[in-house]
C-alpha cells in the first residue's frame, strides 16, 4: 500500500481509536460507528457542492486578500462543511436507540467528521507535489481540527437530545460554534497565505502575527475539546448511575 495513503489515514485512525476508548461505560456498536464514518465520507459530496456555489461570491485574493480569507474561511469552508455534517449527523443518530447517553453525541459526531476528514485528507495528500510533507502538516493540524470541531458539535447535539426544553438553542449552538471555530481556523491560515504573497514589511509582519494567533487558537481548541469530553463523560456516569438506581419512593433496599 502507498506510504502516502497510509500517512493520510493514520491520524484519522488514531483519533478514532482515542475517542472510542473514551467511551467506556456503554461502548457504541461497531456497525453503527462504521455506518456513521461512511456517511461522513459521503458528506464531502454535498459540502463540495455547497462550496462550489458559494465560492464564486468571494472577492479575489489579489484585490482583497483579507476579505477573501475571511469569506473563504467562514462562509465557504466553515458554514458549508459544518452544516452538512450536522444535518447528516442528526439524520443518522437522532432517533437511534443507541444514542442513549450524553457522551454518545461526541462519539458519533467524531466518527462522522473524521470520515469527512479522511476523504479530504486523502485527496490533499495524494494530489500534492510533496505528499509526505502535506500528510505531516495535515495530520498535525487539519485532521485534529476536524476532530475538535466534531467534539463541540457532538457536545451540543447531546445537550439537545437530553434537554428538550432547551433543544433548539443547543442545536443552534451545535451549528454556530463549529462554524465559528472552523471559520476562524481556516481564515487565519488563508489570510496569512494571501498576505504571504504580498510585498512589503507590513504584510510580512501581519503574516507572522496571524501565524502566532493560529498556534494560540489551536491550543485553545484542544483545551476546549478535552474539557467538553471530560464534562460529558461525567454526565454519562451520572446518567448511568440514575438508571441503575431509580428512585421509587421511600424504601430500603439491601
Average pLDDT of span 23-36: 93
Average pLDDT of span 116-133: 92
- Compare 204 and 159 and report the one with higher pLDDT: 159
Range from 16-30, 191-205, 218-232 carrying the lowest mean pLDDT: 191-205
| pLDDT, tens digit, 9 for 90 and up, residues 206-223 | 777 887 888 899 999 999
Average pLDDT value for the chain:
90
| pLDDT, tens digit, 9 for 90 and up, residues 11-27 | 999 999 999 999 988 89
Q: What is the pLDDT of residue 254?
A: 27
- Compare 245 and 59 and report the one with higher pLDDT: 59
Q: What is the pLDDT of residue 17?
A: 97
User: Does residue 176 carry a pLDDT above 80?
Assistant: yes
The length of the chain, given as a count of residues: 254
Angle between the 201-244 and 102-127 helix axes, to the nearest 10 degrees?
Answer: 140
Q: What is the pLDDT of residue 245?
A: 59
- Compare 250 and 217 and report the one with higher pLDDT: 217
User: Does residue 132 carry a pLDDT above 60?
Assistant: yes
- Compare 34 and 199 and report the one with higher pLDDT: 34
- Of 214, 96, 112, the closest CA to residue 153 belongs to 112
Contact predicate 47/81, CB 8 Å = yes
Average pLDDT of span 78-102: 97
DSSP state of 101: S
Average pLDDT of span 193-201: 66
- Of 11, 7, 2, 91, the closest CA to residue 43 belongs to 91
Amino acid at each position: 500500500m502507498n506510504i502516502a495513503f497510509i500517512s493520510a489515514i493514520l491520524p484519522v485512525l488514531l483519533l478514532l481509536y482515542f475517542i472510542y476508548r473514551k467511551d467506556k461505560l456503554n461502548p457504541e456498536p461497531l456497525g453503527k460507528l462504521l455506518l456513521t464514518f461512511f456517511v461522513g465520507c459521503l458528506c464531502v459530496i454535498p459540502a463540495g457542492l455547497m462550496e462550489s456555489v458559494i465560492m464564486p461570491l468571494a472577492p479575489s485574493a489579489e484585490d482583497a486578500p483579507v476579505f477573501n480569507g475571511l469569506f473563504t474561511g467562514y462562509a465557504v469552508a466553515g458554514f458549508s462543511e459544518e452544516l452538512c455534517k450536522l444535518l447528516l449527523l442528526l439524520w443518522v443518530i437522532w432517533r437511534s436507540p443507541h444514542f442513549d447517553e450524553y457522551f454518545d453525541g461526541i462519539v458519533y459526531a467524531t466518527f462522522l467528521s473524521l470520515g469527512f476528514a479522511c476523504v479530504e485528507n486523502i485527496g490533499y495528500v495524494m494530489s500534492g507535489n510533496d505528499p509526505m510533507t502535506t500528510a505531516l502538516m495535515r495530520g498535525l493540524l487539519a485532521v485534529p481540527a476536524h476532530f475538535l470541531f466534531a467534539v463541540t458539535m457532538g457536545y451540543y447535539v447531546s445537550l439537545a437530545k437530553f434537554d428538550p426544553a432547551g433543544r433548539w438553542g443547543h442545536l443552534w449552538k451545535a451549528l454556530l460554534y463549529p462554524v465559528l471555530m472552523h471559520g476562524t481556523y481556516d481564515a487565519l491560515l488563508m489570510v496569512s497565505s494571501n498576505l504571504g504573497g504580498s510585498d512589503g514589511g507590513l504584510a510580512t509582519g501581519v503574516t507572522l502575527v496571524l501565524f502566532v494567533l493560529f498556534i494560540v487558537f489551536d491550543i485553545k481548541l484542544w483545551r476546549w475539546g478535552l474539557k467538553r469530553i471530560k464534562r460529558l463523560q461525567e454526565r454519562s456516569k451520572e446518567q448511568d448511575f440514575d438508571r441503575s438506581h431509580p428512585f421509587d419512593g421511600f424504601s430500603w433496599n439491601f
